[in-house]
Each structure stands twice: as C-alpha cells, then as structure tokens.
Structure 1
Amino acid sequence: MAHRTWLESVRSRLAESGLTLDDLVSRSGYSKTRLSELLRGKGYYPGWEITYSVVKALNMPPWPVRRLWSAAAREARKDSVWIRNGIHAVQPLGPEEPPTAHLGFTQAMRRPYTTYARAFLQTDQRAQWVVAETFDILWVNWREATASPDTPRHAWLLLRSRVMSRAFQRENHPDLRAAAFQTAGQAEIDDLAERMARIGRLADFFDAVARLPQDQLDVTVLRYLCGIDADAVPGIVGLPLAIAHTLDHHARGALNGLYPHTDTRE
C-alpha cells in the first residue's frame, strides 16, 4: 500500500507533465526498461537513486517523496542498511521548503487530525505516523489539492482514507471499542467490578458509534471523543456549518435511541 501511494503520485505527475517515456529517459539517465519497471510497480522495489531521478525529472518535491519511499521500503521488508545506503547516495536534496499555505494548513490541522487518528489507531505513535504520511501526500499533490473545490475537504478525505486503511476492523466497520478504556469517567471508578461493567457498556456504545454513516462518524468522534468544539468541526472536515450540525444532530438522535443514558464524559 505504501509503495502504491508514492507511485500513483509519480504516475499522475508524469501524465500531467505531457512527457513521454523517452523524455524521462533523457532527463533521468536511466534506461527505458528500468523506468518502465519502476512505473509499473511490479517485480521489485526500486532504489532511491532511480526514484529520485524520476522525481527530479518531474519537478516533484523530493523530501516528502523520500519519506514515503522509505516507509514503503520498510513495508517491502528492505533492511535499514539498504534504505540508508540509497538515501546517502543522493545527497543533498536541498532545503526542505513546503509551500507556505501547506505549512500553515498542517500547523492548523495537526492536533485535530492526530486526535482523530488516535481514536481509531489507539496509540500516539501510529496516529502521528499516519498524520505525517497524510501531510506528505498532500504536499506531493499540493497543486491538485488547491485546485479542488474545497482543499480542507480534499485533505480530510485523504486523512480519513489513510486512517481507515489501518484501523482495526470488526464486521466491516472500524473497531472503536478500545475507546472505552480511554474515557475519563471509568478511570475514576475505584471498584474494579463497577469499572469493568462501565467499560463493557461503553464498548457497546462505541461499537454503535463505529456503525454510523461515515460523515456522522467523523463528526461524532471529533466532537465527543476528541473534544473538538462544535464550531471548529466544519473547518476540520471541510463541510459547511449547517451540514456538520445536521450530521451531529442525526448521529446523536440515532445513538440516544439506542443508548439513552450513556455519557462518555462522565
């Protein structure tokens, strides 16, 4: 999956550029056979040197692509020496300078994106990694993101797809039951039997949350698991205020019908 992430961006940029494979050969210095193998994404995982030659030829930002390439190399079970040697063979890359608008966007969205990811992925490390990956993909495809009708919505759907692809699944839904262990109320209960009973009730409640339609699920998790203010949610998910509030209303109505006395904040 990680390999496909950066490779699809390379393919899209090549198609957008109008360059032929022969043009890429002359610009990169690699043979048509090697470049064809890289672009097909089958048979082997390409080294950073040839990958960088294509990235440079297509005028793509090398820093985020290198991070995505490294992650995919680890997923392809390449050892750390192979990865490190490939990186050291292409030095330096120059200053890491994301677009100013991208930098501002990531600074504004890092916290809510990370808290959302943590709800599904359960650890800070996994959440931070997925958010960093999302921001790198967004940087590589920043022109596409800013050309979309709504950049925040484009970015949110990208984050959601990365989170859901890694979330634990239960009956074709993300498994949110572990969130029951993270609520403040249960942690304050001294009696073990009472605490476990409350966790069990909350686990059932969060399982119901996970079965909400996707946009309702997103708004509910941000509001009631992540503690995001209602007026801030629309800007995070890239939806108009009225639609976000309607989603919240419908989600609360559905959940109150099933679990009328459940309050995750207790």
Structure 2
Amino acid sequence: MTPSHPVDPDEPPGAGRGRLGRPLGPIISNCPAEHRAWLELVREAYLESGLTMTVLSLRVHMARSKISELMSGRRYPHWELLKAIAAELRLPAGPLYRLWRHAAPEIRRKSPAWSAETAATVAVQYSPPVHHKGFRELTKDGYDFYAGVFLPDPTRAAAVEEAYDQLWLSWAKALSSPDIRRHGWGVLRASVMSRAAHDNNGPHFLHTAFDTLALRDLSGPEHAQAASEQLAETQDLFRAMGRLPAPQLDVIVLRSLGGMNEEQVSDLLGVPLAAVRSDQRHATRFLDSVLCPPPDTGGTLS
C-alpha cells in the first residue's frame, strides 16, 4: 500500500507521527515582537503536527535548511510559502496573513522588493469563528482600555488586533483551555507588554490622560503649586504601581483607573472574585506602604 504521506528518510521504520525528528533551534534573540507574534504559533503547530522537517519540506517543495531558517526567525518568508506551510499545519490563513502583513513592513525597510510583492498580494478573505466574534464583543472595551493605559494610538490598536489574531490562529487551543477568558487575557497582556516601555520599576504608564483628568480643575497660575504637587503624586503612584506583580497590577489598573467593579474584572480576567479581592487588597497594602510609609520615630522603645 502506498503511504499517505512522503516517507521521511530520517525516520526509522515503524516510527509514529509523534516523532518530531531533529528538534527546532531557538528563535533568534533579535527577532522583532511582531514577527514572534505569528512565528511562535507556527512553531507550536509544527511541533504538534507530528511532521518532521523532511516531510514538511517535501510537501511545500522547499529545502529543509530554508524552513529551518524560517522557523528560527532568521528568514522572513514570502506569503505564498507561509500559506503553504499553514495549510500543511492546518492553520487558518486569515489571521496568519494579517499577522504576517503587520510584521512585514519592518523587514521590508531592508529590502524594497518586499513593497512590490506585498502590494501585489491579494488580501485573504476570511471570517472568524462565531465564538471568536462573540468573545471579541465581550472583551473589546476592556482590552482597549488596558492597552491604552500603556500604549498610545496606533500602537494600542495594533496590540489589541494582534491579540485577537493570535487567539484566532490558535482558537482550538483557546477553546480547550481551562478558561478561555484567562487564556485570552494572557495573550492580550503579552501583546501589550511586548510594546510597552519598561525600566527597573516595571512598565511605563501612559500618563497623559490620567494627568489631564487629575489636573483639569487646577488650571491657571493660582493653582500652579497644587498642579505641580498633583502631577508629582500621580507619577509616584504610577511608578509604585509598575512594581506590582502582574495579577495585582492588572486588577488595580482595571479597578482604580478603569472604574470596573469586582464582577467586571473577574469576568474580563477569567479569575474568581476571591482572587480579584485578594489581589486588590495586597496591591493596595503595598501602594500604601510605598506612598504613605509610617513616620520614623527616630528612636527605640525601652
């Protein structure tokens, strides 16, 4: 009987589809975040497929060395090649094309030929799964707000759209996760934080909107001192918030800056109410200790 797929000469007789062949090398350290957004999901699909590099190269008619370069991030592929690989790995072309196209401009600066190719590429027509559309409708406002705390437009919009495309590209995994809301939040948070500026205190907050809100009643020269003090307090608060662990930071951002109630935060993050309350309590206690430390008595008790 003729085998259903090409025989891999690297694969010993009787080996099953679970054999992965030679392990993939790591993604290069300087691979841009936008490139990683789709590359990590393609690598994951390849590892889960059971295919070896030899079989994949035979199916897409490309040398194994070239596919290896693609999988490591050293080579940015033409769309037709990536689409062929996606078909073998059963990945939806629509979100992959959007992620590929978003990452391509940074690479194209080094090679003007990319512009002509992309301009000639016909956009993939697609429609996400019904459940994905529903999930997006339920989470979009919360995702937009959170991204806007750390990122300006159009970076904010790009981070949110990337998260939804990543979720769609791995929708089966999202659906099989213990809680799709928690899974989705992890994807959104990673997309935002990969673009946010950081220092030793953690991520930088986008101060403008909150400073404006805090200072709107302190305009004019007669309020200059109060405005300066308010601005300093706001900046101190954001620096302290940046030092919070991720779960506590997310809860305090959504509760204190976003004005969400506990139930709304629980629904968006996909965590129990008790966890939201615990994270808020610990975050508030830490912020109080940093911003309002107890007075130093300057002596010891006898």
Name the TM tier (shorter chain): 0.7 to 0.9
Q: How many Å apart are 1:233 and its aligned residue?
A: 0.0
Asked whether the 8 Å contact 1:114–1:127 carries over to 2, the reply is: yes
For the residues of structure 1 that align with 2:111 and 2:227, how far apart are their CA atoms?
A: 44
Larger Rg: 2
Which structure 2 residues correspond to residues 6-155 of structure 1 after superposition, within 5 A? 6-42=38-74, 44-78=75-109, 82-87=113-118, 90-91=121-122, 93=124, 95-121=125-151, 123-155=152-184
Unaligned runs of 5+ in 1: 261-266
For the residues of structure 1 that align with 2:168 and 2:236, how far apart are their CA atoms?
A: 39
State TM-score, norm by structure 1. Answer: 0.86
For the residues of structure 2 that align with 1:115 and 1:80, how far apart are their CA atoms?
A: 36
Asked whether the 8 Å contact 2:248–2:283 carries over to 1, the reply is: yes
Q: How many Å apart are 1:184 and its aligned residue?
A: 1.9
For the residues of structure 2 that align with 1:61 and 1:46, how far apart are their CA atoms?
A: 17
Is residue 257 of structure 2 the alignment partner of residue 225 of structure 1?
yes
Q: How many Å apart are 1:156 and its aligned residue?
A: 0.9
Letter in 2 for 1:124: D
Asked whether the 8 Å contact 2:159–2:191 carries over to 1, the reply is: yes
Letter in 2 for 1:57: E
For the residues of structure 2 that align with 1:65 and 1:245, how far apart are their CA atoms?
A: 38
Asked whether the 8 Å contact 1:234–1:241 carries over to 2, the reply is: yes
Letter in 2 for 1:61: P
Letter in 1 for 2:142: P
For the residues of structure 2 that align with 1:230 and 1:5, how far apart are their CA atoms?
A: 31
Task: Report how many aligned residue pairs link the two structures.
Answer: 257
For the residues of structure 2 that align with 1:91 and 1:134, how far apart are their CA atoms?
A: 23
Unaligned runs of 5+ in 2: 1-32, 293-302
For the residues of structure 1 that align with 2:73 and 2:287, how far apart are their CA atoms?
A: 45
For the residues of structure 2 that align with 1:224 and 1:188, how far apart are their CA atoms?
A: 20
For the residues of structure 2 that align with 1:7 and 1:112, how far apart are their CA atoms?
A: 26
Asked whether the 8 Å contact 2:108–2:114 carries over to 1, the reply is: no
Q: How many Å apart are 1:90 and its aligned residue?
A: 4.8
User: What do you get for the CA RMSD once the two structures are aligned?
Assistant: 2.4
Deviations 1:221-243 (A, max 9, x none): 01111222221001111211111
Shift in alpha-carbon separation, 1:182–1:132, aligned structure 2, 3 A: farther
Asked whether the 8 Å contact 1:134–1:158 carries over to 2, the reply is: yes
Q: How many Å apart are 1:244 and its aligned residue?
A: 0.6
For the residues of structure 2 that align with 1:40 and 1:210, how far apart are their CA atoms?
A: 32
For the residues of structure 2 that align with 1:35 and 1:255, how far apart are their CA atoms?
A: 49
For the residues of structure 2 that align with 1:180 and 1:90, how far apart are their CA atoms?
A: 39
Shift in alpha-carbon separation, 1:159–1:177, aligned structure 2, 3 A: closer
Asked whether the 8 Å contact 1:187–1:195 carries over to 2, the reply is: no
Query: Which structure has greater helix proportion?
Result: 1
Higher relative contact order (CA 8 A, sep 6+): 1
State TM-score, norm by structure 2. Answer: 0.77
